[in-house]
Amino acid sequence: MTRLSNTGPTDTLLKIIRLQMGARYFHQAFFKGELDQEVIDRYVAANRHCFPEIDARSKRLTDLVVSERLDVEAVEFVCYDARLTM
């Protein structure tokens, strides 16, 4: 499995921005209203703690979901189905 390495502060900042965008996108998919900055910060911290490195495939999938504003529930179903067939 290919791992993306941390090449410096710019790479870390980009990872944090992607996580913040993901938090906002997923919140908007399920809830009305704005997302508190504290929740965004906790989402970023939890992801960085649980997934310190992300493989290239997962990064592309997450970026695609957020950039194309894909149906979150459909994406979850596909990911769940893929885990069952492994």
User: Kind and range of the H or E element at 7?
Assistant: none
Model pLDDT, residue 4? 45
Model pLDDT, residue 53? 75
Model pLDDT, residue 78? 63
Model pLDDT, residue 75? 66
Model pLDDT, residue 63? 77
Model pLDDT, residue 72? 72
| Closest by CA position to 28, among listed 66, 63, 62 | 66
The encoded tokens of residue 28 equal: 């908007």
Model pLDDT, residue 45? 92
Ranges of the chain with pLDDT below 70: 1-7, 54, 75-86
Overall size of the chain counted in residues: 86
Distance of CA 52 to the CA centre of its chain: 12
Cβ 43 vs Cβ 49: under 8 Å:
no
* Helix residue ranges, H only, the chain: 9-30, 37-50, 56-67, 72-84
